[in-house]
Each structure stands twice: as structure tokens, then as C-alpha cells.
A and B are shown apart, each in its own frame.
Chain A
Amino acid sequence: MPLLEVRDVAVRFGGIVALDGVSFDVEPGSIVGLIGPNGAGKTTLFNCVSRLYACDRGDIVFDGGSLLALPRHRIAGAGIGRTFQNVALFRSMTVLDNVMLGAHSRSRSGFVSNALRLPRVPREERATRARARGILQMLELESLADKAVATLPFGTCKRVELARALAAEPKLLLLDEPASGLNHEEVSELSGLIRRLRERLRLTVLLVEHHMGLVMSISDRVVALNFGRVIARGTPPEVQRHPDVIEAYLGAA
């Protein structure tokens, strides 16, 4: 059974059709690349999975249940983590606090127990902090733990976002252009990192990326979108060779 099934999803903004009957599956443990020119609807699809946008039509099934039945704040707890194309960190907070907030859905304590600092609060807090530090170490960010994110360069912020997403222990990770703002060397380092994370954390990854070298080298399957429709799907070589994909990219360039 696929971990994520996108079924005939359509989204319209006024006159713009951002997604027009998109369907594809993501198998557990796989890395699926989602490509397409700017405005193809990739981020919109992520936002549908996160429930930030409502689907006008279709269904999104995750782990056997429809996501459309869940409110936004339950998506992280259901096992879907994500990063944002334009970095959506909590700017006044430190790197460590950002990552600890990422574990919000994996912790319980509320207003009353926090205010009274009941014994389970410091216990939970310690566990959350330890997990966050572990993730920072894995992503080689530990030296920045106490920095305010507002002071960090864009590429580092993207990495902090990845750390924050991992703190929720997701099954499915949505990465929206993780390589933007990185140089050549950093991109190849990133592809190694994504592979390692998949092995170590048994992740399934849905990856939006413009950097073709990266997508084609690490994806098991690739889905190509243009104008809100799937124009090709298959293994990286198949999609790369597909005439509609070549056309879409040449047309866009």
C-alpha cells in the first residue's frame, strides 16, 4: 500500500487553476521527486497535503486515512513533516528552540501543567531538548544551537528547517526546494544527507527541486507537473526523456 496517495486533486485560485486533477502515489521508503517549471503547482500540492489549502476536488490519503478529515494542526502528529520554499522559521527564537518547537506534536504538556511545572514537564522538556540536540548534531548544526535564526544565512536556515521538521519524527518528509541558495558542493552534500536520513530514520521523502542533478540522482520515482497537470511519471531516466518534460522546460526557459 502506498504511504501517500494523491487522487485527482484540483485547486483553483479565482481564475487560476493551480492543480487540475493531479494523481500519484508515494511508496513507503521511497524518494519521489516532484518537478516542473515555476508556477506548475508543486508548492500548492504541498500546501494541500499540509491542509494549508483546501482541495476543490479529490482526496489525499496518508497511511490509509484521508488527510482531508484532519485539521491543520494534526498533520504533523499524523506523521507528515515539511519545509517551506521561502523559509518559515520562528525568527526571534534560537535554532534549538525552533527545533524543539518542531517536536510540539510529540509532546503533551499544556497550560496548567506548564504553569505549575508539574514533574512531568521538566522530564518531557529534557527529553525534547535531548532529541533536538541529537538532530542538530546529525545535521552538523550543534554549534549554532543558541543562535537566533534571524542572524543566519539562507542556506543554513533551510537546514534548520529540515532539523525542525525531523523533530516531529515524520514518516513522510516534504522538502520544498531544499537546495535553493546552496553552492555546487553543498548540493552534493545535501543529496548525501537526504539519502542518509532516509536510511537512518526510515523516511519517505517527497522532494520538490529545480536542481535536476539532485532530483535525478536521488529519486526512485519522479513526477513532472506543468500547469497543474501531471505530464510524466516514472523512473528518473524515463521522465527526463519524456518529450512533454523536455518541451515544458525548453518552453519555460
Chain B
Amino acid sequence: MTKKTLIALLLLVAVASIVPFVVSNYRTFQFTLVLVYAIALLGLNILTGYNGQVSLGHGAFYAIGAYCAAVLMDKAGVPYWATVPAAGAVCLVVGFLFGLPALRLEGLYLALATFALGVSMPQLLKYKALEEWTGGVQGIVIAKPDAPWGLPLNSDQWLYFFTLGVALAMFLLGWNLLRGRVGRALVAIRDHHIAAEAMGVHNALYKSLAFGVSAMYTGVAGALGAIAVQFVAPDSFSIFLSILLLVGIVIGGLASISGALYGALFIQFVPNLADEISKAAPWAIFGIFMILFVYLMPTGVAGALRMLSERQKRHNFPAAKNEEEVP
């Protein structure tokens, strides 16, 4: 990381820490959801953007994470903060196990298999035999946690900071994972899986671990989301959520860490914005936004920003370019 990105990052964290003190509680809640989505999108991006395995069903892992949190709090009295790592662990295992048979599937076939998972999840959650835990169609209501240690924060503000802390940790772990040996191997598998294996990458292991890690991120996000929304029900996790997550990583930028944040802002705020523009056809407006973004920024927001900063650099130091020209 360069000094400049580090400063930008610290600035971002500083701004993020001020947000809940200058906006309403409802807006604070919305920003909490942005952080939640950002974690989920980073997870999906590790799988789809970096490793090239398309998932049309990540909403299922989000749902599993959310229900883990809700059931643990509701039935076992586990404190809310402890449900987050538990949800992550469960989704890590479930994702890894799902990733094993998915190894045999490539491209669109994998997309279909994950779609099947995503589309069946709400119905599984309504399943009669599980009703005692899941609350069936009714779902589960969760109490809102208060700020601990007598901190002068209301519960929306506290949840925001709690989520911000988890998000920072998850992004740090993700950045570490992706910037070294493992990250290279994941991208190599996406770019040329035969060559990757010939260079010694254990493709099957890496692909299923990528699935597990990706599901873990999305599960952690699901748990945080459930705590923030204070409610889980099967129909909150329809296949639409899975598609929206995919929209998020494409708009934000595939194979980009910061892209997860841009994508999260998009899927949180653009539907609201569309709703304000037209109550009658909000999703049509949303669709127009999507097409505009994809058209104007074909490599996602992150890609567009990268290109802008490179152009700026070239503008500032025109000589630098010639030096590294290919001979």
C-alpha cells in the first residue's frame, strides 16, 4: 500500500466515524446496512471477481448467517456479538461443503447450481420441522443491543460502530488474503486453471476454500444485518437478494476490494433514490441507473476511479510514461 492510499484510508475511517453524529438515526441505520453489504460483497467478490466462480445464490449464505444469529440469540441466549463469529464459522463450513461438489461445475452450470441454492433457501427456512427454531413464516424478532460500557451512544450509533469495527477487520483480513500467495493463486485459477495447476496450485482445494471463505464473509454480513434490522423472516432472503449482491460486485468493480464498498452504496441507496423518483416504477428507474453505471463505467466504479487516477498521474508527470514504454 502506498502512503497516499493509507492516508485516504485513514481519512475514510475518520469520516465514517463522524457520520453517525451528523445524520439522523435512520440514516445511521442505512449506513450500517451499507457496511453489512460491503462485507457480503467482498465475500462474493473473492469467489466471483477474484476466483472466477459465479454465484447466483449468495443470498442463501446471507440468510444462513442471519438465521444463525437470530436463533442463537433467541433460543440459546447467546450475546449478539458472539453470534457473528458463529455465523461466520457455520457459513465457512457450509460454503466449503457446497464448494466441493460445485468443483465439477463450471461457468453457467455453477451459476445454475448456486441459483438453485438461492432460490430454495426461503422455502427451506419455512420448513415445518425447523419451525421450532426458525419461527416459520413469521420469522424471529431480535432485541436491539444497547451500547456497552456506558458509552454515550444510542443503539443505532452503537450498532453502526460495532458493524464498522467488524467491517474493518474483515476488510483487513480480505486484503491480506488477496495480496499474497493465496490471492495470486485464486486469480491464476480464474485466468487459466490448467496453467495454475501445472504451476502447483491445488485447484480443487483453493476453489472450495474460496467458496468457504466467501460464504463466511457473506454469513458474517447476514448476522450483522439481522442484528441491525432486528428481524429475520424467510422472505427477506429471496433470490432477489442474491441477484442484488451480484449487481453490487459488478457495479462496484469485479476483483476489487474497494469495489465492495461502492457496490454496497449502490445497492443500499439507489433503490431508495429510484423510489423517490418514481413510486410507480422504482425498479424501472433502478434498471436505468444500472445500465447507466455499466455503460459509463464498464469496469465498475473501482475500475473507473483507477483509470481516472492513472490519467491524472500521466497528466502530472508526462515523462514517466515514456520511461516504461514497451520496447
Is B187 engaged at the interface, CB distance under 8 Å to the other chain? Answer: yes
- Cross-chain contact B202 with A73 (CB below 8 angstroms): yes
Contacting pair A114 B200 (CB below 8 A) = no
Known pairs A115-B177, A116-B176, A143-B327; A90 contacts B201 (CB<8 A): no
User: Is B319 part of the binding interface, using a Cβ–Cβ cutoff of 8 Å?
Assistant: no
User: Which chain A positions have C-beta within 8 A of B176?
Assistant: 114-117, 121
Question: How far is it, in angstroms, between the C-alpha of A110 and the C-alpha of B206 when the chains are bound?
Answer: 10
The reply to whether the CB of A105 lies closer than 8 angstroms to some CB of chain B is yes
Is the beta-carbon distance between B199 and A164 smaller than 8 angstroms? yes
B197 interface residue per 8 A CB criterion:
yes
Point out which of B174, B198, B201, B326 has the most chain A C-beta atoms below 10 A from its C-beta: B198
Determine which residue in A50, A76, A110, A111 has the highest number of CB atoms from chain B within 10 A of its CB, and name it: A111
B183 contact set on A, CB distance < 8 A: 114
| B198 CB contact (under 8 Å) in A82, A121, A128 | A82
Any chain B CB within 8 A of the CB of A97?
Answer: yes
Find out whether the CB atom of A124 lies under 8 angstroms from the CB atom of B184.
no
**B177-220, CB under 8 A of A: which get 1 and which 0?**
10011111101101110111111111100000100010000000
Distance A52 CA – B192 CA, assembled complex (angstroms): 13
Q: A111-B182, A124-B181 are in contact. Are A105 and B199 (CB under 8 A)?
A: yes
Q: Which residue of A lies closest to B195 (CB)?
A: A88
Asked whether B173 is an interface residue with its Cβ less than 8 Å from the other chain, the reply is yes
Select A73's contact among B173, B174, B200, B255, beta carbons within 8 Å: B200
Q: Which of A84-115 contact B (CB under 8 A)?
A: 84, 88-93, 97, 100-102, 104-105, 107, 109-111, 114-115
B187 touching A75, Cβ below 8 Å: no
Residue of B nearest to A71 (CB): B202
CA distance A73 to B201 in the complex (A): 6
CA distance A88 to B194 in the complex (A): 8
**CB-contacts of A105-156 with B (<8 A):** 105, 107, 109-111, 114-117, 121, 124-125, 128, 143-144, 146-147, 151-153, 156
Contacts of A128 in B (CB 8 A): 181
B301 CB, nearest partner CB in chain A, Å: 18
B191–A92 CB distance below 8 A: yes
* Cβ–Cβ contact A90 & B200, under 8 A: no
Is residue B132 contacting chain A, with contact meaning CB distance below 8 A?
A: no
Q: How far is the CA of A146 from the CA of B201 in the complex (A)?
A: 22
| Nearest-Cβ distance from residue B174 to partner chain A, whole angstroms | 8
Q: Does A74 contact B (CB under 8 A)?
A: yes
Which applies to chain A's interface (DSSP): helix, strand, loop or mixed? helix
How far, in whole Å, are A111 and B209 apart by their CA atoms in the complex?
8
CA A102 to CA B183, docked complex, whole Å? 14
Report B-chain residues with C-beta under 8 Å of the C-beta of A152: 326
In the bound complex, what is the Cα–Cα distance between A25 and B108 (angstroms)? Answer: 44
For the complex, give the distance between the alpha carbons of A25 and B198 in Å: 22
Are A89 and B192 neighbours in the complex by a CB distance under 8 Å?
yes
Closest Cβ of chain B to A49, distance in Å, is 10
Interface: A77 (CB within 8 A): yes
> Would B198 and A76 count as touching, CB distance under 8 A?
yes
Decide if A74 touches B200 in the complex (CB within 8 Å).
Answer: yes
Q: How far is the CA of A143 from the CA of B325 in the complex (A)?
A: 9
Indicate whether A151 sits within 8 Å of B326 (C-beta atoms), given known contacts A50-B198, A105-B200: yes
Partner of B199, one of A117, A121, A125, A168: A168
Which residues of A sit under 8 angstroms from B201, Cβ to Cβ? 73, 101, 104
Q: Which of chain B's residues have a CB closer than 8 A to the CB of A147?
A: 324, 326
Q: How far is the CB of A161 from chain B (nearest CB, A)?
A: 9
Q: Which residues of A contact B184 (CB under 8 A)?
A: 93, 97, 100-101, 104
A102 and B192 alpha carbons, distance in the complex (Å) = 13
Q: Are B173 and A104 in contact (CB under 8 A)?
A: no
CA distance A121 to B192 in the complex (A): 25
Q: Is the CB of A116 within 8 A of B173?
A: yes
8 pairs of residues in contact across A and B, judged by CB atoms under 8 Å: A52-B194, A90-B192, A92-B190, A97-B184, A104-B199, A116-B173, A156-B326, A164-B199
Which of A's residues lie within 8 Å of B, judged by CB? Answer: 50, 52, 72-77, 82, 84, 88-93, 97, 100-102, 104-105, 107, 109-111, 114-117, 121, 124-125, 128, 143-144, 146-147, 151-153, 156, 164, 168
4 closest A-B pairs by CB: A105-B200, A76-B200, A88-B195, A90-B191
Interface residues of B (CB under 8 A from A): 173-174, 176-177, 180-185, 187-188, 190-192, 194-203, 209, 213, 255, 324, 326-327
